[in-house]
Amino acid sequence: MGTIYTTIFIDLNNLEDLNLSKNVLRTFDDSLLEVLPTLLTLNLSYNHIDSVEHRMNKTTTQISTLDLSHNNISNLPKGFSESLSKLQYLDLSFNKILSLENCNLTYLSSLKEIYINNNFLTTLNIQMLSKSLSELYFGYNQITEIPYDLSHIKVLNIEYNKISEIHENLTTNNLQRLNVSGNMLSTFPSILFENLEILDISDNNFTHIPKAICIKNFPLLIQLNVSKNPIQNLTLYSDLQLKSFVANNMSMLQTVDKDTLTNLRAPTKDCINLTISNNNMLSFIHEDALEHMNLCSLDLSNNRLPYVAQHLIAHNDISTTFNINLQGNPFKCNCSLQWMLSDLMPKLYSLQPNLLNNLRCAWPPQISNMRMVHWYGWEDQIFCINASNFNENLTMNVAGILNNKVVTFDSSPGLLIAVGVAMTALVILVIIGIIWTQRISMRKRRINRNFM
């Protein structure tokens, strides 16, 4: 459909939800809203709209949700927002908007959420928005500065812009979630975020976790993401009590020492989800680095760890839930990792089998890239066998991890002796059989001679 004909909708007096997305509309005339007085939701996304026309009279509509995303809109006409006093959700993402001054959004007195991500904005002027707004999503623009007054904002997502500094006189009384990932920040101001619960500072230029991020400035913080920063040391310089800490894809991180995470704890009577994964230089985690934490889950997947100490997780309550992801590491499968076969694998097999899919050995060469679940159910301490003896062990995995059936042929000394004895007995029986056959043949020849 390339054009909206309002006459089509005249008799739909009780229509509440209209979806015109994924058409080829090029214009939108707001007189459609006047024809549909009971309409609550209008979806015009994924069209080719480059012109929004204001033609309706000063009539207040009932519409609460309007989606104009994925079009070619660069501005909204004056008066457009005057008839949308009950609008609560507006999506203008993925358009060609250069400035909020062209959108006339001040009169949207009931607006709660607005999405203007993936446009061409260079500034974020709060004065151009309705004071009723509580959630702003302005990611993937060209914005260089966060506005000072965020007193009525609860959620601010301004990811992947060009922000290099957060001012110290920022007003954040009600801010609960802040996402400044993908910018150019290298410092963080020491100001009070008294209600902030979720903070994402990933993919910036931080070389260490800012000292300003502490309980004093963030008394209610429960989630922190520091991923994709050039951080060499994850040391927290002040106390933090979190439910989630994420440090992924950090190209400079090489070790997590005993005292690195000393100041990181779970809230009282709660636990923390700790994720330190996909760090291609991380090759060492001290066995006591997590001894003070009450862990809900532990994700150490896809690092460069050749070894993980049993004590790293054995002391913790996580050992009862076994939500432990160690996949994708180049483990040296020697006797020091036998605990993974003997203790960890049986629990993962029954409780979290998906965490075994890519749990593999990288050394010794004889078993390189072999999944550890290959030895599930073995009684022998297979990783304690000398590497040169791996070639003497023949195994056949019949059904794999999911059907819980593994047949094993083990060439142990006892089995070799038994096979040798059996082979010797077989040879003797064959020789006896040949001799017996020859004797019978000779008797038949004698009998035949007597009858001649």
My answer on whether omega of the bond before 364 falls inside 30° of 0, hence cis, is yes
Please report which confidence band the pLDDT of residue 96 belongs to, taking 50, 70 and 90 as the band edges: very high
- Over the stretch 199-213, which tens digit does the pLDDT of each residue have? 999 999 999 999 999
Which of 80-89, 133-142, 324-333 comes out lowest in average pLDDT? 80-89
Q: Region 415-420: what's the mean pLDDT?
A: 66
Distance CA 254, CA 285 (A): 9
Q: Is residue 394 pLDDT above 70, yes or no?
A: no
Q: Considering 334, 354, 385, which residue would you say is the last residue of a domain?
A: 385
Res 13: pLDDT: 82
Please report which confidence band the pLDDT of residue 397 belongs to, taking 50, 70 and 90 as the band edges: very low
Q: What is the dihedral of CA 48, 53, 55, 58, to 10 degrees?
A: 110
- Find where tokens 């520091």 sit: 226
Strands (E), 300-389: 324-325, 331-332, 361-363
* 8 CB neighbour count, 10 Å cutoff: 11
Res 320: pLDDT: 59
Res 413: pLDDT: 57
> Which one, of 145, 199, 202, lies nearest residue 176 by Cα?
199
414 in a structural domain = no
Q: Considering 88, 120, 143, which residue would you say is the last residue of a domain?
A: 143
Q: Is residue 227 pLDDT above 90, yes or no?
A: yes
86 in a structural domain = yes
pLDDT: which is higher, 400 or 393: 393
Task: Calculate what percentage of the chain has a pLDDT beyond 90.
Answer: 64
- The residue range of the domain holding 281 is 276-385
379 in a structural domain = yes
Which of 27-31, 200-204, 217-221 comes out lowest in average pLDDT? 27-31
187 in a structural domain = no
Res 57: pLDDT: 77
Res 444: pLDDT: 62
Res 390: pLDDT: 59
pTM above 0.75, yes or no: yes
167 in a structural domain = no
Please report which confidence band the pLDDT of residue 395 belongs to, taking 50, 70 and 90 as the band edges: very low
Phi, psi (deg, nearest 5) at residue 200: -120, 110
450 in a structural domain = no
Please report which confidence band the pLDDT of residue 161 belongs to, taking 50, 70 and 90 as the band edges: very high
* 431 CB neighbour count, 10 Å cutoff: 10
The mean of the pLDDT values for the chain is: 88
Strands (E), 180-219: 198-200
CATH number of the domain at 71, please.
3.80.10.10
Res 104: pLDDT: 78
Distance CA 147, CA 53 (A): 30
Q: Region 255-259: what's the mean pLDDT?
A: 96
Stated length of the chain: 452
Res 406: pLDDT: 44
pLDDT: which is higher, 59 or 142: 142
Q: Considering 362, 385, 408, which residue would you say is the last residue of a domain?
A: 385
Q: Write out the H or E segment, with its range, that includes residue 28.
A: strand 27-29
Distance CA 159, CA 16 (A): 34
* 448 CB neighbour count, 10 Å cutoff: 9
Residue 212's Cβ-side half-sphere holds a number of Cα atoms within 13 Å equal to 13
299 in a structural domain = yes
178 in a structural domain = no
In DSSP terms, 407 is beta-bridged to: 396
Which of 171-180, 280-289, 293-302, 314-323 comes out lowest in average pLDDT? 314-323
Task: Calculate what percentage of the chain has a pLDDT beyond 70.
Answer: 89
Q: Determine the residue type at 31.
A: S
Task: Domain count for the chain, please give it.
Answer: 2
